[in-house]
Structure 1
Amino acid sequence: MGKQRVLVLCTGNSCRSQMAEGWLRALYGDRIEAYSAGSDPAGYVHPLAVRLMAEAGVDISGGRS
């Protein structure tokens, strides 16, 4: 059986869902495929989310909204 797929959905897909996707990939990337999306995408990943996750050792700088 292939990897389970997980979609994290929020409004802008610029912060919360991007961070959740980053954590899912970092913690369970060998078992799942993680994705994020937004109902009204902002078009960018918030720089503070990128910085906070980098401080925690998770790179989400390549994320797309």
Structure 2
Amino acid sequence: MAEAFAHIHGGEHVEAFSAGSKPSGVINPKAIRFMSELGYDLTTHTSKSLDDIEGEFDAVITMGCGDDCPWIPAKHREDWGLPDPKHMDDDGYRSVRDDISSRVKSLLAALR
């Protein structure tokens, strides 16, 4: 969802990638459903491994993996430590989704 919000809020001026240390290979159907509520088609995304991501980045955001996160070169780093909404009810999922949206907006503003 963070990659999607980077595209939504940053437009063509932002190149964003998301990846996981243990990708499932599929996009969570709940993520697809809750992003579609905002008019975003998450089915165009793929589940990627961190091994598929190369380069040095302006920002790297981790989602609560702490010291277990692999090192990825970046000028700016943050760990948002958000709960995984995978097993949350609808309201909980929307809350995490909206928190990610807000954080992405703030990050993009800070990087400009």
Which range, TM-score by smaller chain?
Answer: 0.5 to 0.7
2:22 is matched by which residue type in structure 1? D
1:61 is matched by which residue type in structure 2? T
Residue 62 (structure 1) shift: 1.3
Residue 29 (structure 1) shift: 2.1
- Give the distance between the partners of 1:34 and 1:58, measured in 2 at CA: 15
Normalised to the residue count of structure 1, the TM-score between the two structures is 0.67
1:38 aligns with 2:25: no
What do you get for the CA RMSD once the two structures are aligned? 0.9
User: Higher strand fraction: Structure 1 or Structure 2?
Assistant: 1
Q: How many residues align?
A: 47
- Give the equivalent residue in structure 1 for 2:42: 60
- Give the equivalent residue in structure 2 for 1:29: 11
- Give the distance between the partners of 2:41 and 2:2, measured in 1 at CA: 12
Unaligned 5+ runs, structure 2:
48-112
Unaligned 5+ runs, structure 1:
1-18
Local SS of the residue matching 1:41: coil
Question: Which structure: larger Rg?
Answer: 2
- Give the distance between the partners of 1:21 and 1:58, measured in 2 at CA: 11
Pick from 10, 14, 29: which aligns with 1:47? 29
User: Higher helix fraction: Structure 1 or Structure 2?
Assistant: 2
- Identity, % of aligned positions: 43
Q: Which fold has the larger relative contact order, with Cα–Cα distance below 8 Å and residues 6 or more apart in sequence? A: 1
